[in-house]
Chain A
Amino acid sequence: MSQELIDAITDMREDDVLRITNELLDGGASPLDILNACKAAMEVIGQRFETGEAFIPELILAGEMMTAVSDILKPRMAEAAASDKLGKIVLGTVEGDIHDIAKDIVVFMLDLNGFEVTDLGVDVPAAKFVEAVQETGATIVGLSGFLTLAYDPMKETVAALRENGLNVKIMIGGGQIDEQIRDYTGADAYGRDAMAAVALAKEWVKES
């Protein structure tokens, strides 16, 4: 694994990341090696974010760098792409709430950790979650909400998913959410932060 590439990503040197990626590929490195280096680098950035050493704009830039790298890799690993995903997740901020920052971070971390995430955005009605699960075949749903007003729509969304007979695991998160709210909404679990969401998702795909 190229430490040079890992360092370039964690130092947010966008141009170097692309240059090194191309050089490695030209030198015969496999796309998988590069992906592993990306993953290692993103783990470092994720930890730095958790400890307050890295900031939201850097997460966004890191995401852009990952997209750019995978654009370079894609033509070289056409067959590997979709089938390697760990699992499918539908995620969004529930109806009545428009907070997106924390939700975006969760989407980003899940994506980075190998999940195929369908991000429905903010103020998402229950019916749209149901529809998205039916369309994508996702096995996990994440409901985000920052306001206390989000608890009822969360409860309704959980109920709608169950009523439609969808076999999904549901996690909730955001703001003041705790075990009591999880119980109120009927969700399977709650997570305090993006890393918790990743841990839950990994655990759930392992079970299934």
Chain B
Amino acid sequence: MKIIGEKINGTRKRVAAAIAERDQTYIQELAAKQSEAGANWLDVNAGTHPAQEPADLTWLIETIQAVVETPLCLDSANPAALQTVLPVVKKTPMINSISGEPERLEKILPIVAEHGCEVIALAMDDKKIPKTTEKRMEIIDNILAATRAAGVPDGKVYVDPLVMTIATENQSANIACDTIRAVHEKYPDVHFTMGLSNISFGLPARSYINRGFLTLAMGAGLDSAIMDPLDREIQAAILAAELLLGKDRHCLNYVRASRKGVFDQPIT
């Protein structure tokens, strides 16, 4: 299970302030902590106006790269911003994201192909998120046709099946898991990712829902997630799920984590 650390996101108020004030210390601390906690990528989202985005993203990237070597996940739908910042990125980044929207495919895919990036593909088009697995599959078919045509190998594509909040859509976890299974069946090399916490929006005691959903989704084939790597409860749930899915030989990771005290903190 790979982790895309979600914390450096300009739509969060504290991060937005740090970007506006060019507060390097705050951003570098977020980067270092997430990397230490095992993030495989650090998501970088400036959350600013398109005109301001290239400058803000460049600053964020340089600030982060000064303290950690963890690869970045460039979170922007703005091709101009991506083009501007790519030359300053040291390790081949992941791009977050493309969708079935033709304009996004046309403008962002060539960048992905040229730089050999990994890319997150959202199972939606022109702003609409389909309700059924079948419709999401149609969009994924279109995206995969486009990525293949652009020369991006399936193994670099991370499909996000898009989970809706279960408070308003009772079948949303099932739809997301079914989508993962269906895509995996048809495109065995494709990876998966998603934002975990959306599922529990509007409900109490969210962390139980997030953990339960993570386990079900991993059972369906989820192999990465956009999440807070500092969340020990989720980290513990990942270890348990990998163990139960037979991906932890001799249960070594689980036992080692236990010795390291990963499970010691009481679950709140």
Chain A positions near chain B (C-beta within 8 angstroms):
52, 55-57, 60, 96, 98, 100-101, 104, 123
Say yes or no: B165 contacts A101, CB within 8 Å: yes
Say yes or no: A57 contacts B129, CB within 8 Å: no
Chain A residue contacts of B168, Cβ below 8 A: 56-57, 60, 100-101, 104
Report the count of interface residues on B (CB-CB < 8 A).
Answer: 10
How far is the CB of A56 from the nearest CB of chain B, in Å?
4
Name which of A52, A57, A98, A104 has the most chain B CB atoms within 10 A of its CB: A57
Q: How far is the CA of A104 from the CA of B169 in the complex (A)?
A: 13
Given A56-B202, A96-B127: 10 more A-B contacts, CB < 8 Å? A52-B204, A55-B202, A55-B203, A57-B203, A60-B168, A101-B167, A101-B168, A101-B202, A123-B127, A123-B128
Chain B positions near chain A (C-beta within 8 angstroms):
127-129, 165, 167-168, 201-204
Say yes or no: A98 contacts B167, CB within 8 Å: no
Q: How far is the CA of A96 from the CA of B127 in the complex (A)?
A: 8
Interface residue from B128, B129, B167 paired with A55 (Cβ < 8 Å): B167
Chain B residue contacts of A101, Cβ below 8 A: 165, 167-168, 201-202
Who on chain B is nearest to A101 by CB?
A: B168
Say yes or no: B127 contacts A55, CB within 8 Å: no
Say yes or no: B203 contacts A56, CB within 8 Å: yes
Q: How far is the CA of A123 from the CA of B128 in the complex (A)?
A: 9
Q: What are 28 A-B pairs with beta-carbon distances under 8 A?
A: A52-B204, A55-B167, A55-B202, A55-B203, A55-B204, A56-B165, A56-B167, A56-B168, A56-B202, A56-B203, A57-B167, A57-B168, A57-B202, A57-B203, A60-B168, A96-B127, A98-B127, A98-B128, A98-B129, A100-B168, A101-B165, A101-B167, A101-B168, A101-B201, A101-B202, A104-B168, A123-B127, A123-B128
Chain B residue contacts of A60, Cβ below 8 A: 168
How far is the CB of A68 from the nearest CB of chain B, in Å?
18
How far is the CB of B203 from the nearest CB of chain A, in Å?
6
Q: How far is the CA of A98 from the CA of B127 in the complex (A)?
A: 7
Nearest 3 A/B pairs, CB to CB: A56-B167, A56-B202, A57-B167
How far is the CB of A138 from the nearest CB of chain B, in Å?
25
Who on chain B is nearest to A104 by CB?
A: B168
Chain B residue contacts of A98, Cβ below 8 A: 127-129
Chain B residue contacts of A96, Cβ below 8 A: 127
How far is the CB of B201 from the nearest CB of chain A, in Å?
8
Q: How far is the CA of A80 from the CA of B129 in the complex (A)?
A: 40
